[in-house]
């Protein structure tokens, strides 16, 4: 009877191996779905924030030192953009200028209100010597409400440094993405 029992042991090992393979495949699918859920949840939260805040970019990172000491490079700003709110001097706005990809975070220093409710305003960085007319498109001396992406309502200091590092060093971005992807795929359910 010895050879027979050897046969049984071999069969059990094969079964176990098959189970493992099936489990790993299932676990891999599970991790991929998990990852997809994380991504879609993040997108849903972002879209929700856009609706709630009225701003197309509810969260922005300060990229330059032009607003120090109010905000520093890497601060994360939370924006709202309700069109009924009047724009006032002293307020910090994020605006986009034609011909520039990146929105600018600066303070409103002058506001002109016309009788029909039309508003024009001028901005300046707290840390800059001159106002922003040099930044606006040629021939434009004032901003209007349509140029505003949002107004600063709150901030978290330095949380956006990761974004700046990723912009300045693209290799860091790919390394970070690779590590995050590997973590999600390799993380075992405890």
List the catalytic residues.
66, 106, 132
Q: In the β-sheet with 148-156, what is the strand arrangement from edge to edge?
A: 59-61, 76-80, 148-156, 92-95, 104-113, 119-124, 143-144
Residue located via tokens 């974004």: 163
Cα–Cα dist 57/81, whole Å: 9
Tokens describing residue 38: 């994380």
Closest CA to 81 of 51, 101, 102: 51
**Token pair for residue 137?**
């498109």
């Amino acid at each position: 009877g010895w050879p027979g029992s050897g046969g049984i042991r071999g069969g059990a090992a094969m079964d176990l191996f098959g189970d493992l393979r099936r489990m790993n495949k299932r676990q891999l699918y599970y991790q991929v779905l998990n990852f997809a859920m994380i991504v879609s949840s993040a997108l849903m939260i972002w879209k929700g924030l856009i609706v709630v805040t009225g701003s197309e970019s509810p969260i922005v990172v300060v990229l330059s030192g032009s607003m120090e000491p109010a905000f520093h490079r890497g601060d994360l700003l939370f924006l709202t953009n309700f069109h009924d709110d009047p724009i006032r001097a002293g307020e910090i706005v994020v605006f986009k200028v034609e011909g520039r990809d990146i929105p600018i975070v600066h303070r409103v220093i002058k506001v002109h209100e016309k009788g029909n409710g039309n508003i024009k305003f001028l901005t300046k960085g707290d840390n800059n010597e001159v106002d922003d007319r040099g930044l606006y498109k040629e021939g434009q001396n004032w901003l209007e409400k349509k140029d505003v992406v949002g107004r600063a309502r709150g901030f978290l200091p330095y949380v956006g440094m990761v974004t700046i590092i990723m912009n300045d060093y693209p290799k860091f971005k790919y390394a970070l993405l690779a590590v995050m992807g590997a973590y999600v795929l390799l993380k075992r359910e405890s």
